Amino acid sequence: MKLEDFAARVLSHQHARVKKRGRHFMQLAFPDLHRLRIQVKRLRYASEFFLPLVPDRAADALQSLANLQALLGRLNDDAVAWKLLDTMAAGDAATDYQQAIGYVRGWCARDGEQCLGLLEDAWKKFLRHKPWWGPS
């Protein structure tokens, strides 16, 4: 099997997994968005590995993957921070401490809303890209 054929098979499989995991992504819960992020990451890393085969056709697709991965990563970070803040809030009832936790929660909530607002466009951009490993 030629390397180009192997790359196309691997990337097509990963691409299909991302699309399947991301169906109805705006209704996905945070754990499912996290799993989608992992699939996007796998596709991005595989794409970067095979990039030397056709570098001129992959730049835009890789950028859309990177943007999608970054947004999903920020959402995951916000969700993890929120859980950590729950644990921290239970540890100290001091007003200043609770107020500081409230500020960080507010920042996480705002960042999460911002990411969700950008995620739909990032997903649509990802879907618009023709697989760069296929015929030109």
Q: How far apart are CA 72 and CA 33, in angstroms?
A: 7
Paired tokens of 12? 């097509």
In this predicted structure, what is the pLDDT of residue 8?
A: 93
Instruction: Give the pLDDT means over successive 10-residue stretches in the chain (136 positions).
Output: 92 96 90 95 95 85 94 95 92 91 95 94 93 75
Name the pTM for this structure: 0.88
- CA distance linking residue 96 with residue 64, whole number of Å: 42
